[in-house]
Amino acid sequence: MIKAIVAADDKLGIATDTGIPWDLPTDKAYFREQTTGSPILMGYRMYQELEQPLPDRQNLVAVRPDTQLRPGFVGAENITALLDEYQNSPATLWIVGGAALYQKLLDRTQTIYITRVQGDFSCSKFFPSFEEYFKLMNKAKPITENGLTFHYEVWERL
Ligand SMILES: NC(=O)c1ccc[n+]([C@@H]2O[C@H](COP(=O)([O-])OP(=O)(O)OC[C@H]3O[C@@H](n4cnc5c(N)ncnc54)[C@H](OP(=O)(O)O)[C@@H]3O)[C@@H](O)[C@H]2O)c1
């Protein structure tokens, strides 16, 4: 199974030029719960923003050949082979961003776990438009934290 997990604002914005513009501990815990124990695949810029690998899961980074990574991160040079491995497997590969990686792999993504953060955060990076190709399977109740309201949704490919 190939799943994407993302938090996005009303315009599907996911980051400004300086990173994710909200701090939602409950959403971070949700991300941790969902992805712990499964491999996560991130883009190179997302990798650059992480101070250290996320614990208890394999941290894969989509890289060009011969890219050196810090300890605890594993380079994935052949994304197609990796996706083929997980496409029909009961095991999950989590696509965790950023924007370029979500866009590139949307066609291969089966399920989207999206945290909808209310508002417009003037983002410069966006999750791709997806609703045309997916159906809403689950919508949780809103949560308010740090003055922001958000809720979780799960979408499945049509
Ligand atoms: N809100 C959320 O849920 C969420 C989740 C994850 C990330 N984010 C945010 O998304 C932002 C990052 O997204 P992004 O679209 O800028 O980048 P990204 O998807 O993380 O990384 C892919 C980009 O890295 C570039 N790159 C540079 N050096 C590379 C190398 N050696 N190997 C492979 N690729 C290399 C690629 O360039 P080429 O296209 O030229 O190959 C590509 O544009 C961050 O600010 C992060 O905070 C938000």
Domain boundaries, the chain: 2-151
Residue in 30, 34, 41, 45 to alter for ligand 1 test, most ligand atoms within 8 A of Cβ? 45
Determine the pLDDT at residue 19.
94
Other beta carbons less than 10 A from residue 119's beta carbon: 15
Q: Which amino acid belongs to residue 118?
A: Q
pTM (2 decimals)? 0.97
Residue in 30, 44, 96, 115 to alter for ligand 1 test, most ligand atoms within 8 A of Cβ? 44
Q: Name the pLDDT band for 30 (thresholds 50, 70, 90).
A: very high
Fold exhibited by the domain 2-151: Dihydrofolate Reductase, subunit A (3.40.430)
Number of alpha carbons in the 13 Å side-chain half-sphere of residue 153:
18
Determine the pLDDT at residue 54.
98
Alpha-carbon span 111 to 69, nearest angstrom: 28
Mean pLDDT computed over 46-72? 97
- C-beta of 148 in contact with ligand 1 (< 6 A): no
Q: What is the pLDDT of residues 121-151, one digit of tens each?
A: 999 999 999 999 999 999 999 999 999 999 9
- C-beta of 53 in contact with ligand 1 (< 6 A): no
Closest to 105 (Cα-Cα) out of 117, 93, 116: 93
Question: Which atom of ligand 1 lies nearest, measured to the CA of 46?
Answer: 20
The overall average pLDDT reported for the chain is: 97
- C-beta of 96 in contact with ligand 1 (< 6 A): yes
- DSSP letters for 70-115: -TTEEEES-HHHHHHHHHT-SS-EEE---HHHHHHHGGG--EEEEE
Alpha-carbon span 141 to 151, nearest angstrom: 6
Question: Per this entry, what is the length of the chain?
Answer: 158
Long-range contacts of 64-73 (CB under 8 A, 24+ apart): 73/47
Mean pLDDT computed over 108-129? 98
